[in-house]
Structure 1
């Protein structure tokens, strides 16, 4: 009897032990799955912004994988390196599980980016006409910015030491004069109005449209061209100023349209500021002596879209000495849908509820209740990849909303200005700004269509002069600048008439 009693007990104990061990294995296996789950979450959050994985986002994934490589063997190859193909497949897998499972745009380091960098030639053109002498007299911000830019270009585009084949530095007036540069660091120190290499060519003549045509004609598909100039139109004496400026504008427009027949390209215009010590020549070619006065000048950066996109990421333009503003022009800006969601509490006036209470991102509201006739709500939105200045993004006049809506504020994400309940949501997203919108019951309830207009920024008109004969009272302005930029902008609009906005989003508002 004892044997009959004892054996079953041992059997039960054995089964219990097996189940216990099996449970432990399951526990540890579930722990092993945590890094892949976290990586999937990171990918999902990144895809919310325009259904795209940028280079920075992919680098974040790589950093996380490297930190958890032992738990992510499926993405590590036999050499203990990240298998980029498997990472791309994982991103596609996550994308396919989303509601809108269209194939995302994914940055890949294998898309010949390294070869592209090696093959990209950067040509810098320094206008050296007499009107530019004041920027290179003594030590100036112009020289500091140019030096910094050249050093960055050498580091990025000349991978091999003492190999300047991918970086060409030229002077330009009536034609191009290449400068033999052995050491970029020392080049700027040699710039003086009375000395070589600066003193070369016909420096008494400066026709901006001819300079632009020469540069555009010389720019090839594997090349980025950078012009630095005061960008002042030269007019014939005795002609009507406005009519002459309109004529110059049409020449600029024609030059850019002609180049677009070869290939699509983008243009960045930077407004810079520097001390100027020399003679200023006005529209009648009369000169005024300016002694160490602050004056604007410009960098124009021209090249194929993908080259300019890489250039913007690699070269820190906004930290150049004297940088003020920029304007990005292109005929192929992708009107990507940025990530956005309506916040439930922040800056709220009145009341509303989510139409779909299960949706992670709130894009439709209903059951509207006004408070003293007013309704107000905020939108968290990712404006990180919009190629415009921060001042443009935070200027309500840059946006278009339907009649009846007004933009109350546009601010960068700040924890102190977001309700706690909303911040829990915002911090898990790529949102960079909070836009607060208001309407009232005086207007018919309608959907909110919010659009960031693609137009010439306000700083261009504010920097424009049409009569520079009293230059000392408008030192911060450039004669004819608005006409110049309008000519380029109209060329891009002609190529792509539908490219009128950087993005537009829609929020359904129901009763």
Structure 2
């Protein structure tokens, strides 16, 4: 399989390079279109390696017919029935040991045999050292793999009295593991899926005390793959998992930067006398009432982030202190549906020049007085707010605290380690940058 993949890939590269040599305008590098073909190259065969955190804290997810098992079953079936890539599924139990296991049956029927009894005596189920687990799993990753770690990711500080210090160690070691992985493979990406599941077992808190009576718990899929395989997984498998009622949200990490097409609207959702010229803006006059406003359309179709993330003004940075984001909306045909539930129709004059273009989002900018410089705005590579909301640093009272039951001890620090590794490997800390020249 590997040799075939390499042969196909080398052939494609040689063809593209040969074609490129005939291009007199750019003899030294691939064109954008050819580069895109290489980046989107998907092997005909690949492996999906699923790692189940085989610890006592996970027994409650596999004890009986749980939501966790339902989603895992959907994953296994979706992978088995994928027709564009011939996936070979491998299932592992991971704790202090990495054990390949199919319980003597087909991969799609693993959930029928996955239970606390069948996973007993498979390594040390009292071990929940995520620094070692993640490092072990990533070292088992190859270029043609889609790696999936499924776990509750509750960090166990092992009796360390200084919780902040223990969590800092978790962050540092996680970052180190992902720095190594992103160094080994170009365009390696990570996506975290957050699910909720019915739970029938013991929860182990910061003191390693087993607690019964908690009926629902969050868990996560950490998916790691190169960009082309990640895109394929998200579009053809991840999208199916997101339809499950237990799915909550996701987070995405990449070293990639995106080129974004955009268009400034001359009169739609605007306030003031404006004229658009070559994606720049000339201000002819400020409004008599209210602040100057104008709206920019963006095509974010190929930016693989959740709509919640894209529509959150806090995820954007603006270099010009005279501007702020008033609101963000989605584009549906000629309508802009803003996040405050107001709707604006794109005027005919604005629509005619862009009717054959596909814009997905709209950002309305507003001024804080006279404009003194150009506008540059960027989408920051940051951790989604949901990760912060479900992070816990003290779960001792989890049984009596219903909010705490929906949180995960140490989770933010784990994700911060991943995020910092990707930002460290990136050319900059933004998904995209857009600069609009403004003539005063």
What is the TM-score when the length of structure 2 is the normalising length?
0.83
Which of 406, 413, 419 is equivalent to 1:483? 413
Change (3 A) 1:509 1:462: same
C-alpha distance in structure 2 between counterparts of 1:189 and 1:509, whole Å: 63
**Do structure 1's residue 173 and structure 2's residue 95 form an aligned pair?**
yes
User: Per-residue deviation at 1:373?
Assistant: 5.5
Unpaired runs of 5+ in structure 1? 1-84, 97-101
Higher Cα Rg, which structure: 1
C-alpha distance in structure 2 between counterparts of 1:200 and 1:464, whole Å: 29
Unpaired runs of 5+ in structure 2? 1-14, 336-343
Change (3 A) 1:110 1:503: closer
User: Per-residue deviation at 1:481?
Assistant: 0.6
**Do structure 1's residue 154 and structure 2's residue 72 form an aligned pair?**
no
User: Residue 186 of structure 1: SS of its match in structure 2?
Assistant: helix
User: Per-residue deviation at 1:268?
Assistant: 1.1
Query: Which residue of structure 2 lines up, in the alignment, with residue 364 of structure 1?
Result: 281
C-alpha distance in structure 1 between counterparts of 2:366 and 2:183, whole Å: 45
User: Per-residue deviation at 1:451?
Assistant: 0.8
User: Per-residue deviation at 1:445?
Assistant: 2.8
Note the alpha carbon deviations across 1:159-190, whole angstroms, 9 max, x for none: 67xxx7x2111111111221236434432122
Query: Which residue of structure 1 lines up, in the alignment, with residue 341 of structure 2?
Result: none
Query: Which residue of structure 2 lines up, in the alignment, with residue 130 of structure 1?
Result: 56
Note the alpha carbon deviations across 1:326-362, whole angstroms, 9 max, x for none: 111122x0332x11111122211111113x3xx5xx4
C-alpha distance in structure 2 between counterparts of 1:208 and 1:321, whole Å: 28
Note the alpha carbon deviations across 1:127-177, whole angstroms, 9 max, x for none: 1211001111222211111111111112227967xxx7x211111111122
C-alpha distance in structure 2 between counterparts of 1:250 and 1:341, whole Å: 41
What is the TM-score when the length of structure 1 is the normalising length?
0.72
* Contact 2:297/2:361 (<8 A) preserved: yes
C-alpha distance in structure 2 between counterparts of 1:376 and 1:138, whole Å: 56
CA RMSD of aligned residues (A): 2.7
Moved more, 173-182 or 448-457: 173-182
Change (3 A) 1:184 1:321: farther
* 1:294-313 to 2 correspondences below 5 Å: 294-313=216-235
**Do structure 1's residue 329 and structure 2's residue 259 form an aligned pair?**
no
Which of 283, 298, 301 is equivalent to 1:384? 301
* Contact 1:349/1:371 (<8 A) preserved: no
Note the alpha carbon deviations across 1:58-113, whole angstroms, 9 max, x for none: xxxxxxxxxxxxxxxxxxxxxxxxxxx9xxx9xx99xx9xxxxx943358889994
* Contact 1:380/1:426 (<8 A) preserved: no
* 1:40-189 to 2 correspondences below 5 Å: 103-105=31-33, 113=41, 116-118=43-45, 120-156=46-82, 166-180=88-102, 182-189=105-112
**Do structure 1's residue 448 and structure 2's residue 375 form an aligned pair?**
yes
Query: Which residue of structure 1 lines up, in the alignment, with residue 430 of structure 2?
Result: 501
C-alpha distance in structure 1 between counterparts of 2:159 and 2:175, whole Å: 23
Query: Which residue of structure 2 lines up, in the alignment, with residue 339 of structure 1?
Result: 261
User: Residue 372 of structure 2: SS of its match in structure 1?
Assistant: coil
C-alpha distance in structure 2 between counterparts of 1:469 and 1:448, whole Å: 48
C-alpha distance in structure 2 between counterparts of 1:435 and 1:428, whole Å: 20
C-alpha distance in structure 2 between counterparts of 1:111 and 1:212, whole Å: 26
User: Per-residue deviation at 1:230?
Assistant: 0.5
* Contact 2:267/2:274 (<8 A) preserved: no
Query: Which residue of structure 2 lines up, in the alignment, with residue 290 of structure 1?
Result: 213
Q: Of Structure 1 and Structure 2, which has the larger fraction of its residues in strand?
A: 2
**Do structure 1's residue 405 and structure 2's residue 335 form an aligned pair?**
no
User: Residue 271 of structure 1: SS of its match in structure 2?
Assistant: strand
* 1:403-442 to 2 correspondences below 5 Å: 403-414=321-332, 415-416=334-335, 417-421=344-348, 422-440=350-368, 442=369
C-alpha distance in structure 1 between counterparts of 2:40 and 2:361, whole Å: 34
Query: Which residue of structure 1 lines up, in the alignment, with residue 195 of structure 2?
Result: 272
Query: Which residue of structure 1 lines up, in the alignment, with residue 339 of structure 2?
Result: none
User: Per-residue deviation at 1:435?
Assistant: 1.0
C-alpha distance in structure 2 between counterparts of 1:488 and 1:385, whole Å: 22
Query: Which residue of structure 2 lines up, in the alignment, with residue 471 of structure 1?
Result: 398
Which of 375, 392, 399 is equivalent to 2:292? 375
Query: Which residue of structure 1 lines up, in the alignment, with residue 153 of structure 2?
Result: 231
Q: Of Structure 1 and Structure 2, which has the larger fraction of its residues in helix?
A: 1
Change (3 A) 1:238 1:311: closer
Note the alpha carbon deviations across 1:472-491, whole angstroms, 9 max, x for none: 31111110011101111122
* Contact 1:128/1:199 (<8 A) preserved: no
Change (3 A) 1:321 1:218: farther
User: Per-residue deviation at 1:249?
Assistant: 1.4
**Do structure 1's residue 461 and structure 2's residue 369 form an aligned pair?**
no
Note the alpha carbon deviations across 1:8-39, whole angstroms, 9 max, x for none: xxxxxxxxxxxxxxxxxxxxxxxxxxxxxxxx
User: Residue 412 of structure 2: SS of its match in structure 1?
Assistant: helix
